[in-house]
């Protein structure tokens, strides 16, 4: 076969391939269909369970059996995605109306995952069987080939209510996401009926029935006035709070009990909430917390925070709303597949699409039922007619050589070859004109059907068939009749499966809390050579001064409302709030400075640790390995950020010295090769923190600044140099930016 090469632009191929991939993800994986509210994996799983006969009144079957069958027949993707979809459809804390009845460990609201599929079992819920799968045998939806064209699967399930609203949906596609909150079944059904009775109803009118989201975790929606805009545009943010109760405990203490949580908090976010509450105490945002306990169980959520006797409870609750996820937002983006393409829809559009689908399903259903009744009517009329001439028919059957001869006589009145007992019977046989179906029914009729009671039952059945035909024709001919049938089914679903609303809808003022003013006091920050840091009060330090000075590398006096500043060899300045440091006893170990700041002890070295107060009062002098010097006003380092660049460094340079400039008179630079240069501090210009600085000393190749010393009142002139004492006070004062003198 001759090879055919098609030349095309690479960009066009990439564009087409990406669009095909994106649409495949959007349509066939990530987004639900507005008609049944299901993603393809959910629809296929439910249909497979229906085909396997795992109904609500039948025994449970292993989840692994369901997943394997679904993957092999309908969903050629990973088994984990199928099992995850099955698990979510069983979880009553995620779905407003679970569609699968799970048996075993299917996870919990606190984020624990489900057991492996080989351990769990499942079956369909009753509502799934009755409202999603019951009419599939009546040609109500199109069936399409599966991935390898060996099976047929429904393109959509004939859901009898707007499941997209009741159960909501979440999904991430290519370039788009969907996030639809769950709603109350009874309210959605009432709104659907209201739309069917008046298609011009406004979204505001629909919201008289659908008050807002109804999350399975309960909670309180606090922005009621914004819901109309959200349901009109299909996008927005719903603010949800947990439900908080106040209980009185022993010794006059008060307990704040959280019995319902915001929907976005389910899963691992409950553990994070507990950590956030603990952090409020550890960071001294509040001192009111005595104890935190998670007493949640199968019966529901119960998180208890015990407070001090004199705590301001209302202020504390407002702090939880502001500082933790006890108040959270649910981002709404009501995106779904409508008419084969993704579309962001309003509340009314979702209901409209579902109602239109209901009429389409009902039309196909009652056309199928009508045709069956017409076929039944034809046969019944043939049997009744046959009973009236049963003696003739028996004579025809006894006189015929085979079935074909008897059937030809019944249908066309052909009597050739048939032996009749009476001549009149032959004349009557030529006048017979049964239809094909009637003739087959007569030939297959059993003798007991000739009993009088059976004939009477046949006549009654025929009357019922005529009544059904009249009813079906009326439903198909009049939209009002079909609407009434649909509404009756909705009423039946509501009556059997409704539940009370769990989420309260209201307008609530924004949570405002007042932070208690911290009593300002002077403390001492202690940091040992391993970076463990703590603060103690002045009295504690004075009592343990000798031990503190011996055990700690940095000892800084500061205010408890201030900051600790750490200058590093990389030219960075890291700041830490003193309030973030543990305050307590002298023998407490403290906390690693890496844990509460951006300082990384594996990559950086501390050059200077001081307080923000000291920096604000003085200037700071910098010296680098390549002999770049500058003086910076300390006020420039009073910044809000936790980390800023304290100085600009050249390539392969690093900071070797940082000091607060007080009463130093001269600077002495010492290089690794033993050169010393002494010059007045005044020769170092003041620069901004973003500047490189000026050269302090001329260096020979591969030489670098190793130490920096000062002379002046209170400074020791004798230094250790090559195992001897060197008096730098006797060094000759030179000019900056000279080579200096080498000391032997």
Own/partner contacts of 720-724, CB < 8 Å, gap of 24 or more, are: 721/670, 722/674
Question: End-to-end alpha-carbon separation of the chain, Å?
Answer: 90
Task: Tell me the β-bridge partners of 341.
Answer: 338
Task: Tell me the β-bridge partners of 698.
Answer: none
Phi-psi region of 722 (alpha: psi -120 to 50; beta: other; left: phi over 0): left
Residues in the chain: 744
The answer to whether residue 119 is catalytic is yes
User: What secondary structure, in 3-state letters, does 213-267 show?
Assistant: CCCCCCCEECEHHHHHHHHHHCEEEEEEECEEEEEECHHHCEEEEEEECCHHHCC
Residue 653 tokens read as: 């340079």
Q: 237 and 330 in contact (C-beta within 8 Å)?
A: yes
d(CA 635, CA 629): 18
Map residue 68 onto helix, strand or coil: helix
Contacts of 416 (CB under 8 A, 6+ apart): none
What is the DSSP secondary-structure string of 289-341?
EEEEEE--BTTB--EEEEE-TT--HHHHHHHHHHHSTTEEEEEEE-EEEETTE
Picking from 390, 418, 420, 384, the residue whose alpha carbon sits closest to that of residue 403 is 418
The burial of 315, by beta-carbon neighbours within 10 Å (0-12 exposed, 13-18 middle, 19 or more buried), is given as: middle
d(CA 179, CA 334): 6
d(CA 567, CA 553): 15
Map residue 434 onto helix, strand or coil: coil
Could you tell me whether strands 655-661 and 619-624 are parallel, antiparallel, or unpaired per DSSP bridges? antiparallel
Angle, nearest 10°, between helix axes 347-388 and 452-477?
A: 150
Distances (CA, A) of 382 to 372, 379, 407, 413, 718: 15, 5, 13, 15, 128
121-124: strand order across its sheet: 61-62, 121-124, 100-103
Residue among 119, 513, 618, 715 flagged as catalytic = 119
The burial of 6, by beta-carbon neighbours within 10 Å (0-12 exposed, 13-18 middle, 19 or more buried), is given as: exposed
Contacts of 27 (CB under 8 A, 6+ apart): 337, 340, 342
CB atoms within 10 A of CB 561: 15
303-307: strand order across its sheet: 243-248, 254-260, 303-307, 289-294
Residue 583 tokens read as: 């305050």
Residues with a catalytic annotation lie at 119
């Amino acid at each position: 076969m001759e090879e055919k090469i098609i030349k095309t632009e690479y960009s066009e191929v990439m564009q087409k391939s990406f669009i095909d991939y994106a649409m495949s993800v959007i349509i066939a994986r990530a987004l639900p269909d507005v008609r049944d509210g299901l993603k393809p994996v959910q629809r296929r799983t439910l249909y497979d369970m229906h085909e396997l006969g795992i109904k609500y009144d039948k025994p449970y079957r292993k989840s692994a059996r369901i997943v394997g069958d679904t993957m092999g027949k309908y969903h050629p993707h990973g088994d984990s995605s199928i099992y995850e979809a099955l698990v979510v459809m069983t979880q009553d804390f995620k779905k407003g109306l679970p569609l699968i009845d799970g048996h075993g460990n299917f996870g919990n609201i606190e984020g624990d995952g489900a057991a492996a599929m080989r351990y769990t079992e499942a079956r369909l819920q009753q509502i799934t069987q009755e409202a999603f799968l019951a009419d599939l045998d009546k040609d109500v939806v199109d069936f399409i080939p599966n991935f390898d064209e060996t099976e047929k699967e429904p393109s959509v399930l004939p859901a009898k209510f707007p499941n997209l609203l009741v159960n909501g949906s979440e999904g991430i596609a290519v370039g788009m996401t969907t996030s639809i909150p769950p709603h109350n079944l009874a309210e959605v059904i009432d709104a659907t009926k209201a739309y069917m009775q008046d298609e011009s109803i406004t979204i505001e009118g629909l919201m008289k029935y659908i008050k807002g989201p109804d999350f399975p975790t309960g909670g309180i929606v606090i922005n009621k006035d914004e819901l109309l805009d959200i349901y009109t545009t299909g996008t927005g943010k719903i603010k949800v709070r947990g439900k908080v109760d106040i209980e009185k405990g022993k010794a006059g203490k008060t307990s704040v009990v959280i019995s319902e949580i915001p929907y976005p908090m389910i899963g691992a976010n409950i553990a994070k909430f507990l950590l956030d509450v603990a952090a409020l105490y550890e960071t001294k945002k509040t001192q009111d917390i005595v104890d935190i306990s998670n007493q949640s169980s199968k019966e529901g959520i119960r998180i208890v925070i015990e407070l001090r006797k004199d705590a301001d409870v209302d202020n504390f609750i407002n702090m939880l709303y502001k500082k933790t996820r006890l108040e959270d937002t649910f981002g709404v983006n009501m995106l779904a597949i409508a008419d084969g393409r993704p579309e962001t829809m309003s509340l009314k559009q979702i209901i409209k699409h579902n109602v239109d689908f209901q009429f389409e399903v009902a039309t196909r259903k009652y056309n199928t039922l009508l045709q069956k009744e017409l076929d039944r009517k034809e046969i019944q009329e043939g049997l009744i007619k046959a009973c009236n001439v049963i003696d003739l028919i028996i004579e025809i059957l006894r006189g015929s050589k085979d079935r074909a001869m008897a059937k030809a006589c019944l249908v066309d009145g052909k009597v050739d070859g048939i032996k009749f007992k009476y001549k009149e019977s032959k004349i009557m046989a030529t006048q017979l004109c049964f239809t094909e179906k009637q003739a087959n029914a007569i030939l297959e009729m059993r003798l007991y059907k000739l009993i009088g009671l059976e004939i009477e039952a046949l006549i009654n059945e025929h009357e019922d068939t005529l009544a059904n035909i009249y009813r079906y024709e009326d439903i198909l001919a009049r939209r009002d009749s079909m609407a009434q049938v649909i509404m009756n089914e909705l009423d039946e679903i509501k009556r059997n499966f409704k539940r009370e609303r769990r989420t309260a809808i209201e307008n609530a003022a924004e949570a405002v809390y007042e932070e208690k003013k911290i009593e300002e006091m002077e403390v001492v920050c202690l940091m040992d050579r391993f970076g463990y840091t703590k603060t103690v009060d002045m009295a504690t330090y004075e009592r343990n001064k000798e031990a503190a000075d011996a055990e700690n590398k940095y000892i800084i006096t500061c205010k408890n409302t201030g900051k600790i500043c750490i200058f590093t060899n990389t030219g960075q300045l890291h700041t830490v709030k003193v309030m973030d440091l543990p305050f307590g006893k002298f023998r407490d170990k403290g906390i690693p400075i890496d844990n509460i700041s951006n300082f990384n002890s594996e990559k950086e070295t501390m050059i200077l640790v001081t307080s923000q107060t000291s920096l604000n009062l003085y200037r700071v002098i910098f010296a680098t390995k390549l002999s770049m010097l500058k003086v910076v006003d300390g006020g420039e380092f009073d910044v809000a950020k936790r980390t800023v660049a304290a100085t600009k460094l050249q390539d392969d340079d690093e900071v070797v010295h940082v000091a607060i400039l007080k009463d130093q008179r001269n600077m002495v630079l010492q290089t690794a090769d033993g050169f010393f240069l002494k010059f007045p501090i005044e020769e170092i210009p003041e620069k901004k923190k973003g500047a490189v600085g000026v050269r302090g000393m001329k260096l020979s190749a591969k030489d670098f600044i190793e130490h920096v010393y000062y002379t002046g009142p209170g400074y020791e002139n004798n230094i250790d140099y090559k195992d001897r004492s060197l008096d730098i006070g006797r060094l000759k004062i030179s000019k900056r930016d000279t080579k200096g003198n080498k000391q032997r």
